[in-house]
């Protein structure tokens, strides 16, 4: 059974999508990710779509699902490497990919994830300070 | 200007695994007439949307891909035919935000924006036929 | 057999060529056209087709070849910059030359009249075709120029590391928007920029459609993970936008490119500091 590999990069997970997703594969990815986030208490997920040349509403739904599921598990999802033609087509199609944050590439994606972690760390800090 | 068909092929769409090969065939047609990457992307994305509809709501069916020209431009025409339950109210389905399934409610109107010509014929109980055309320079 | 009238022209091909050439010189549009191989080929093919004419010329495959040839000649002359008059005269002088020879060949007035009628029918139709081909040739040139203008008028400039600017000059219609979006997004990828500044001070009017195009461009940029600032908003545009009820919430707008740049710096957490005087 084909499965999309998930790489652990410190606090984050990296998923590189290089094949066209179909129902079963997408479902497997969702469950694999959720389990891996839980296992490592990952704080963020990077989905590299630089090799994806077509994103239709099905794929859009998958990305949205992953973002929501991860958030529930306290992990932030960032989609990186969207191709220009895909971005233009998505806008024309009217797909807004709500709940999905984007970054230009993996590096910027990680910076983004780290900055979001610091924000939540600081919020925790303030909370502790207030309650002392 | 009348449109003439230069070449044509048919594909039976029965299950989900048929989606990707169909997309690739449509892409081949686009590449053959020198369509830009952006237009190819729009055409294949529209195809993907419509063929999924065919599977999900039409119970499968057939797709015809044609290489066409209208004297001024070359293009690709894709026709999706199913014998499913049909759409009760087409004008409602073409309104942005309408949806019967679990989709994001965008299907047809969004897809129409991706192509140059969009025709839909549907009758309750008699299936649905959708024809889209994307010109090379459209 | 009425076809004999025109069939007889073939024997006088050289004479026809000479008269044709002279007529062209007299009309002032001679450019050595008749000496060119293609003109000789046309005359030869045409006259041969006439000798084998049996029934309607539209159905004759030989005439189809002649038509293809003349269409090719007209199209290329159109692209080479010949005037519409010169284009038409190419065939009208040919007709005149042929007519002249016919009047020498045919003595019977009724027969001569019939022959001329037939000649007219054939050549008038061909003249219309050449006009169409000529126009298509010109249209090709125009559309190529339009493409070039589109390319030139949407330059993308890297104003700072990570920041690109795109000054848009002229009207923004949907086909131009596509080109703008493609250029901009590709540049963002190529330069790894995270901020794009779209300056519209050169866009004369912003209506709902143009606003829609701008909003689409901003959305596409954000989907890719970059941000887009719209600058160059003139007061009239701000007024129009509000009056038209266009919703620009969520779109970052600045009056000038300079303030857009400052905003971009802020977003990248960059500060411009004056050097201390020593």
CATH at residue B73: 3.30.565.10
Tokens of A28: 């497997």
Query: Quick one: pLDDT band at residue C83, thresholds 50, 70, 90?
Result: confident
Query: Quick one: pLDDT band at residue A12, thresholds 50, 70, 90?
Result: very high
Looking only at the bridges linking them, the beta strands covering A76-80 and A44-48 are parallel
Question: The whole model's pTM is what?
Answer: 0.73
Tell me which residue in A80, A92, A96 faces C225 most closely, judged by beta carbons: A80
Chain A residues touching C225 at Cβ < 8 A: 79-80, 82, 101-105, 108-109
Query: Quick one: pLDDT band at residue C55, thresholds 50, 70, 90?
Result: low
Query: Quick one: pLDDT band at residue A132, thresholds 50, 70, 90?
Result: very low
Tokens of B43: 């055409």
- Check residue B81 and give its pLDDT: 95
What are the residues whose beta carbons fall under 8 Å from the beta carbon of B78, sequence distance 6 or more?
B26, B43, B46, B47, B50, B63, B64, B65, B66, B131, B132, B133
Domain boundaries, chain C: 3-145, 157-267
- Check residue A123 and give its pLDDT: 60
Chain B residue with Cα closest to A94: B110
Give yes or no for C118 touching A (CB within 8 A): no
- Check residue A41 and give its pLDDT: 95
What are the structural domains of chain A? 6-130 (3.30.750.24)
What are the residues whose beta carbons fall under 8 Å from the beta carbon of C245, sequence distance 6 or more?
none
What percent of chain C is predicted at pLDDT more than 90?
A: 29
Q: How many domains does chain B have?
A: 1
The per-residue pLDDT of chain A, averaged, comes to 89
Chain A residues touching B23 at Cβ < 8 A: 20, 54
Provide the ipTM.
0.87
Question: Mean pLDDT over residues C137-164, rounded?
Answer: 83
Chain B residues touching A57 at Cβ < 8 A: 49, 52, 103-104, 106-107, 110
Task: List the 25-84 stretch of B: residues with Cβ below 8 A of A.
Answer: 37-38, 40-42, 44-45, 48-49, 52
Looking only at the bridges linking them, the beta strands covering B61-69 and B117-123 are unpaired
State the nearest Cα–Cα gap between A96 and chain B, in angstroms: 10
Query: Quick one: pLDDT band at residue C168, thresholds 50, 70, 90?
Result: confident
Question: Mean pLDDT over residues C237-245, rounded?
Answer: 88
Q: Which chains form contacts with chain A, at 3 or more CB pairs under 8 Å? A: B, C
What are the residues whose beta carbons fall under 8 Å from the beta carbon of C177, sequence distance 6 or more?
C213, C216, C217
H/E stretch holding C208 reads helix C208-223
Expressed as residue numbers, the domain containing B30 is 4-135
How many beta-carbon pairs under 8 angstroms link A with B? 64
The per-residue pLDDT of chain C, averaged, comes to 85
State the nearest Cα–Cα gap between B39 and chain A, in angstroms: 8
- Check residue B102 and give its pLDDT: 39
Chain A residue with Cα closest to C182: A84
Q: Is the pLDDT of residue C53 over 80?
A: no
Of A83-92, B125-134, C171-180, which gets the smallest average pLDDT?
A: C171-180
User: What is the CATH number that goes with domain C3-145?
Assistant: 1.10.490
User: What is the CATH number that goes with domain C157-267?
Assistant: 3.30.750.24
Query: Quick one: pLDDT band at residue A131, thresholds 50, 70, 90?
Result: low
- C-alpha B80/C-alpha B50 separation (Å) is 7
State the nearest Cα–Cα gap between A91 and chain C, in angstroms: 6
Q: With the C-alpha atoms ordered B81, B87, B91, B93, is the resulting torsion angle positive or negative?
A: negative
Chain B residues touching A54 at Cβ < 8 A: 23, 41, 44-45, 48
Residues of chain B with pLDDT under 50: 100-106
pLDDT tens digits for A19-74? 888 888 898 999 999 999 999 999 999 999 999 999 998 999 899 999 999 999 99
Q: Is the pLDDT of residue A127 over 90?
A: no
**A123-127, B21-25, B85-89, C121-125 — which one is most confidently predicted on average?**
B21-25
10 Å CB burial of residue C159 (0-12, 13-18, 19+) is middle
pLDDT tens digits for C10-52? 888 888 888 888 888 888 765 666 557 788 888 888 888 888 7
Q: Is the pLDDT of residue C2 over 50?
A: no
Q: Interface of chain A against chain C, CB under 8 Å? A: 79-80, 82-85, 87-88, 90-92, 96-97, 101-105, 108-109
Nearest C-alpha neighbor of A74 from the set A8, A6, A13, A5 = A13
- Check residue B105 and give its pLDDT: 44
């Amino acid at each position: 059974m084909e499965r999309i590999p998930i790489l652990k990069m410190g606090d984050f997970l990296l998923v590189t999508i290089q094949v066209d997703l179909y129902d079963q594969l997408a479902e497997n990815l969702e469950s694999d990710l959720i389990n891996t986030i839980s296992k490592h208490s990952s704080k963020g997920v990077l989905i590299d779509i630089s090799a994806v040349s077509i994103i239709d509403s099905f794929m859009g739904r998958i990305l949205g699902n992953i973002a929501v599921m991860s958030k529930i598990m306290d992990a932030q999802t960032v989609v990186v490497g969207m191709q220009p033609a895909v971005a233009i087509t998505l806008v024309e199609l009217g797909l807004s990919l709500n709940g999905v944050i984007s970054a230009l590439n993996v590096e910027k994606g990680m910076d983004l994830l780290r900055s979001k972690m610091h924000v939540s760390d600081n919020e925790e800090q303030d909370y502790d300070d207030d309650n002392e | 200007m009348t449109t003439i068909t230069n070449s044509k092929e048919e594909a039976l769409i029965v299950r989900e695994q048929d989606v990707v090969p169909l997309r690739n065939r449509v892409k081949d047609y686009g590449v053959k007439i020198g369509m830009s990457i952006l237009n190819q992307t729009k055409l294949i994305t529209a195809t993907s949307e419509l063929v999924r509809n065919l599977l999900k709501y039409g119970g499968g069916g057939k797709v015809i891909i044609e290489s066409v020209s209208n004297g001024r431009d070359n293009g690709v025409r894709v026709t999706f035919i199913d014998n499913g339950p049909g759409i009760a109210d087409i004008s409602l389905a073409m309104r942005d935000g309408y949806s019967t399934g679990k989709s994001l409610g965008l299907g047809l109107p969004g897809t129409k924006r991706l192509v140059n010509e969009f025709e839909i014929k549907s009758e309750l109980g008699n299936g649905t036929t959708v024809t889209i055309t994307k010109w090379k320079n459209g | 057999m009425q076809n004999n009238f025109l069939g007889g022209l073939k024997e006088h091909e050289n004479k026809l060529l000479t008269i044709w050439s002279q007529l062209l010189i007299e009309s002032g549009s001679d450019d050595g056209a008749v000496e060119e191989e293609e003109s000789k080929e046309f005359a030869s093919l045409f006259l041969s087709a006439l000798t084998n004419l049996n029934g309607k010329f539209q159905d004759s495959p030989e005439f189809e070849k002649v038509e293809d040839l003349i269409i090719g000649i007209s199209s290329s002359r159109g692209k080479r910059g010949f005037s519409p008059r010169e284009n038409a005269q190419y065939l009208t002088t040919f007709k005149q030359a042929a007519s002249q020879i016919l009047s020498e060949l045919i003595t019977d007035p009724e027969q001569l009249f019939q022959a001329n009628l037939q000649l007219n029918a054939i050549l008038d139709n061909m003249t219309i075709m050449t006009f169409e081909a000529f126009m298509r040739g010109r249209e090709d040139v125009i559309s190529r120029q339009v493409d070039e203008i589109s390319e030139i008028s949407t330059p993308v400039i890297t104003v700072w590391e990570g920041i690109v600017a795109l000054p848009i000059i002229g009207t923004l219609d949907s086909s131009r928007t596509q080109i703008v979006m493609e250029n901009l997004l590709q540049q963002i990828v190529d330069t790894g920029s995270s901020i794009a500044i779209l300056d519209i001070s050169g866009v004369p009017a912003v209506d709902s459609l143009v606003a829609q195009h701008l909003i689409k461009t901003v959305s596409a940029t954000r989907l890719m993970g970059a941000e887009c600032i719209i600058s160059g908003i003139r007061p009239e545009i701000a007024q129009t936008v509000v009056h038209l009820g266009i919703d620009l919430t969520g779109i970052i707008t600045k009056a000038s490119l300079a303030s857009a740049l400052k905003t971009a710096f802020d977003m990248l957490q960059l500060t411009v500091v004056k050097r201390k005087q020593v």
